[in-house]
Structure 1
């Protein structure tokens, strides 16, 4: 796959007006970024629910994809406080982030809940952004077993459709440094093999998150299909640095397959 994916989760760091200002600044930079405009680099952003509509508006006319940071496992009904996949799709979102470590740790979401949300997202035509990763630091082969088991569990009974698999070892989230390059390569290779073995997941991607920043894509090369950024991307200029890096990787991939 020549395309390289860069994602950003804003979590709950921005208030509404700051988020709108960030969208506007990033959108202006994206419109001038040839690799994003051409589709060689895919950028997606998951803001808070209240920020989804202004994000969709700010990035109108660009290929940037907007997603929700969570989604209900139910399609509709008396579920106070929930947001359905169908409604996210209706307002212009195309991605649903599912199974993030914070949802699992803070809100007790289980593998069964993750699988139900994945099924709901695919039913509505959204791309699940499946956050996967081991809790405790361990050797790469053991981590790969945990990650592949989580992926298979999340996809159990799900409709056909591509997914974005975000490998985020929990112990690396918010850490000063990402997981080691060799560690990421082993786990990402196992996840990619599992996705490629599933005929229903054509067009899927495996990306890395967890203290991701500049230089990581260049170091990992073809080991991953992109990166998932957190606070590093709060600075639009820093985000563009990673988009430039992604563009270089996409060009190398295109040259290798051309």
Structure 2
């Protein structure tokens, strides 16, 4: 069973351990995934600030086909880099053709499972209930659910913040009500309208929304650690503007260049 340890406790409120990671979605071939991970590990191996980088969590979420080979590559990393999966089914075994067993993911060394992404909801019709069931499956197999949340439509000012918090509250409550209170959860706040956009959501909006989510009763009352990431056209130069609301970044295409990924890792560690 794998649990990512954090600095958060029930009796004090030290800074939560920061975290940054990337999903390759379905952009890479097998060869490109191997090259990407090799290049990133070379950069990490030559880094002079490895002690600093050990203070944060780093993760990579490749496609399912290359996951086991990425896990093998990461065993040679000079820093702990956590491998993740882009989805998992809510049952461990059975006649579920084409689905991916969370028990098998855990068996091969997967540490994080991304769930409820806006693309899964839009293309495949996944619901909050589906995400909750999948989250409990990941957790019971010792993996950390990384649950994507976010509002569909954009609105400006406080009205936009209110809309975002209302939509996200429903998504968060559905998942957290299904999970044991001691389980670690990562919430990835990704406004749907910002995914794939030229620019991320405004810093003031993100900080206001994520601070409000942090103060939800279902989050504050949990014994287990709950970290919040920002995703949605996230990249280098962003985290310093968001650090009052989030614990890290969930990166997409901007981190498909290993050098840019490394640059963002350093920024998250030092901001």
Fold shared, TM-score > 0.5 on shorter chain:
yes
Which residue number in structure 1 is paired with residue 73 of structure 2?
A: 58
Question: Is contact 1:140-1:183 (8 Å) kept?
Answer: yes
| Whole-angstrom distance in 1 between the partners of 2:230 and 2:56 | 15
Question: Is contact 1:35-1:41 (8 Å) kept?
Answer: no
Which residue number in structure 1 is paired with residue 38 of structure 2?
A: 24
| Whole-angstrom distance in 1 between the partners of 2:33 and 2:268 | 24
Task: Report deviation, 1:32.
Answer: 3.8
- TM-score w.r.t. structure 2 length? 0.87
Question: Is contact 1:96-1:121 (8 Å) kept?
Answer: yes
Question: Is contact 1:144-1:186 (8 Å) kept?
Answer: no
Q: 2:216 matched to 1:199?
A: no
Runs of 5+ consecutive residues of structure 1 not aligned to the other structure: 250-258
Task: Report deviation, 1:30.
Answer: 2.4
Task: Report deviation, 1:35.
Answer: 4.7
SS in 1 for 2:84: strand
Say which of 209, 215, 222 aligns to 1:187: 209
| Whole-angstrom distance in 2 between the partners of 1:48 and 1:37 | 29
SS in 2 for 1:201: coil
Which residue number in structure 2 is paired with residue 213 of structure 1?
A: 235
| Whole-angstrom distance in 2 between the partners of 1:35 and 1:185 | 29
SS in 2 for 1:50: coil
Task: Report deviation, 1:6.
Answer: 0.7
| Whole-angstrom distance in 2 between the partners of 1:181 and 1:222 | 10
| Whole-angstrom distance in 1 between the partners of 2:46 and 2:268 | 15
Say which of 144, 147, 159 aligns to 2:165: 144
| Whole-angstrom distance in 2 between the partners of 1:207 and 1:58 | 25
SS in 2 for 1:20: helix
Q: Structure 1 residues 36, 184: closer, same or farther in 2, change over 3 A? A: farther
Say which of 175, 179, 185 aligns to 1:163: 185
| Whole-angstrom distance in 1 between the partners of 2:114 and 2:88 | 7
| Whole-angstrom distance in 1 between the partners of 2:238 and 2:95 | 44
Q: 2:101 matched to 1:84?
A: yes
**Structure with a larger share of its residues in helix:** 1
| Whole-angstrom distance in 2 between the partners of 1:37 and 1:26 | 17
Runs of 5+ consecutive residues of structure 2 not aligned to the other structure: 1-14
Aligned positions, number: 248
Q: Structure 1 residues 36, 226: closer, same or farther in 2, change over 3 A? A: farther
| Whole-angstrom distance in 1 between the partners of 2:147 and 2:80 | 21
| Whole-angstrom distance in 2 between the partners of 1:133 and 1:123 | 25
Task: Report deviation, 1:42.
Answer: 1.2
Q: Structure 1 residues 37, 60: closer, same or farther in 2, change over 3 A? A: farther
RMSD between aligned residues? 1.6
Structure 2 counterparts to residues 110-121 of structure 1, below 5 A: 110-121=127-138
| Whole-angstrom distance in 1 between the partners of 2:171 and 2:39 | 36
Say which of 134, 137, 140 aligns to 2:151: 134
Question: Is contact 1:36-1:63 (8 Å) kept?
Answer: no
